[in-house]
Structure 1
Amino acid sequence: MKTTLFFAAIGLCLTLSCQQNKEIPAEKEAVIPEKTAVPKTAEKPILNDAAAILARKEVPILCYHNIKDFSDSAGEMTKTYTVKPANFAEQMKALADAGYQSILPDQLYDYLVHNKPLPEKPVMITFDDTRGEQYSIGAAEMKKYNFKGVFFVMTVSINRPNYLSATEIKALSDSGHTIAAHTWDHHMVTKYTGEDWETQLVKPKAKLEATTGKPINYFAYPFGLWNKEAIPEIKKSGYKMAFILSTKRDSIDPLYTVRRMIVSGNWTSERMMEAMEATFKNTK
């Protein structure tokens, strides 16, 4: 009898022990600590030198001025610097149909300096001299294809008749276009002395920044004319890149001699496409 009671007591103890083990809350069970994540070493950004920048394939950059109708008897300067609205519309459609995607200067800078990728067929669409139809016709036509452009503003003309108003400039900036500087009064850079640098580079930048509420990092030379003396002043004024026309680039500061191509009013959309692809075909 004593033996039976002994084994019964042992059995009761084992049963209670098992029940207690099952009732241990999950949070009190042994937890295997996770491995501490080892932080990855930050990759150093690529910073291309002048030779590497020049070795990058050039991106097609179109330069427009006036977008308005003109007669067959118009002078050659008018025909060169003015594209009819119907032709501009055809050219935007031709770019879209060919698979081109618009890019902006920030993307171009990252491509040239940091080897960042661009769309397969990039194009930059730029406008000089602050003409009002660049907003009413140019931006409106580009919107159909989700194109964004770069508007190089000559600040003396802001709010004048037939030129962009401060409100329109702000609206362009707010809708994703880039606003950039084109001097105060289109005085050519190669003739600057003394206070001209402040008047033509620094003050326009400040005025456009106040108008848009954004940094103004890019500049276009009036008439596309530049010299080596201007580049240090443009850098000192806080610009990251400067744009010329289809002339030779500087081997030391290629970021301050980025090429563009004027779109002539004499061209059809087919001729414009041919000229663009020939001008920027595999060029370095």
Structure 2
Amino acid sequence: MLLLKSIKGGLLLCLIFSLYNAGTMVVSKKMHTTSFTPRKHQPPILCYHNIYVKPPQEDQLWISVNHLEQQLKMLRDSGYSTVLPEDIYQHFTSGIPLPQKAVTITFDDGHAQHFSLVAPLLSKYGFKAVFFIPTAFIGKKYYLTEKEIRILADSGHTIGCHTYDHPSLASAKTDWNKQLDYSRQQLEKITGQQVYYFAYPYGSWTDSAISQLKARHFRAAFQLTGKPSSADALFTLKRLMISGAWTPDELMQKLKIIFPN
């Protein structure tokens, strides 16, 4: 059932991704002359899902570990450094500057390969990432275990809430206590750390969801492709879904288009 649900969700995300990237174009490179900037808008945020040694296909949901490494190497060689959600929150609320070439890397859904394949590459290139985990899947086949989640947290990565069982939050019947409170409590028990950051399943945010998150003192939330809310920028942080079909140069071009300086 989990695999079937993942496939159905994947089809929806594929459609969102295709519409989102239909209007992209190549732009020229810009020179960076300072190390830090006082800008108060979000840095580029990348979104990954399934990482495999040999994926059945390569698209925005299925990426080979070799292509992931090429993309991470490109980011490092281009001078990018990773920032975590807490850095973004402090930037928005306190004006603390981010590095000029800041990037946030996120991995959704708590797949087992995030520990076995992704974590070693992040360590190799000196990056930290955010792992958004639906807690109903923890310990299931193909998903992270509690021990693996704890190791990721202890290694300096951020563990974020991604609901209990990955529903669309657009339904008026959403059980917010289960999807937010219970799942958050599970992650905090596993990691021994407070959880302040959230990713909307399928990237779909609503005003109601934002209100529920704020009432529970979450600090920020991540969507996918929608236009950020001018009133709630921290709760509609935009992410670029990454395709394994992109070359490193294509990824760089899309970063500059979607997250212009």
User: Any unmatched runs of 5+ in structure 2?
Assistant: 1-38
TM-score (norm 2): 0.82
SS in 2 for 1:146: coil
Aligned match for 1:214, one of 175, 193, 216: 193
Shift of 1:128: 0.2
4+ runs of 1 displaced by more than 3 Å?
none
Aligned match for 2:128, one of 130, 139, 148: 148
Shift of 1:57: 3.2
Per the alignment, residue 66 of structure 1 pairs with 50
Instruction: Spell out the pairing of 1:53-132 with structure 2 (5 A cutoff).
Output: 56-68=40-52, 69-71=54-56, 74=57, 79-132=59-112
Shift of 1:155: 0.3
The superposition leaves residues 229-248 of structure 1 with CA deviations (integer Å, 9 ceiling, x where unpaired) of 11111111231101111211
For residues 181 and 189 of structure 1, the distance between their equivalents in structure 2, rounded to whole angstroms, comes to 13
Q: Which amino acid aligns with 2:41?
A: K
Per the alignment, residue 204 of structure 1 pairs with 183
Question: What RMSD, in angstroms, separates the aligned Cα atoms of the two structures?
Answer: 1.3
SS in 2 for 1:188: coil
Shift of 1:139: 1.2
Confirm whether residue 227 of structure 1 aligns to residue 214 of structure 2.
no
Number of matched residues? 222
The superposition leaves residues 60-119 of structure 1 with CA deviations (integer Å, 9 ceiling, x where unpaired) of 000000001224xx4xxx622111110000011000000000010111101111110112
Confirm whether residue 250 of structure 1 aligns to residue 229 of structure 2.
yes
Per the alignment, residue 15 of structure 1 pairs with none
Shift of 1:265: 2.2
SS in 2 for 1:80: coil
Q: Which amino acid aligns with 2:63?
A: V
For residues 154 and 236 of structure 1, the distance between their equivalents in structure 2, rounded to whole angstroms, comes to 20
Q: Which moved more, 1:209-218 or 1:134-143?
A: 134-143
Q: Cα 1:186–1:192, aligned 2, differ >3 Å: closer, same or farther?
A: farther
Aligned match for 2:218, one of 215, 221, 239: 239
The superposition leaves residues 143-176 of structure 1 with CA deviations (integer Å, 9 ceiling, x where unpaired) of 0121000000010110111111100000000010
For residues 222 and 245 of structure 1, the distance between their equivalents in structure 2, rounded to whole angstroms, comes to 9
Shift of 1:225: 0.3
Shift of 1:127: 0.4
For residues 55 and 233 of structure 2, the distance between their equivalents in structure 1, rounded to whole angstroms, comes to 36
**Higher Rg:** 1
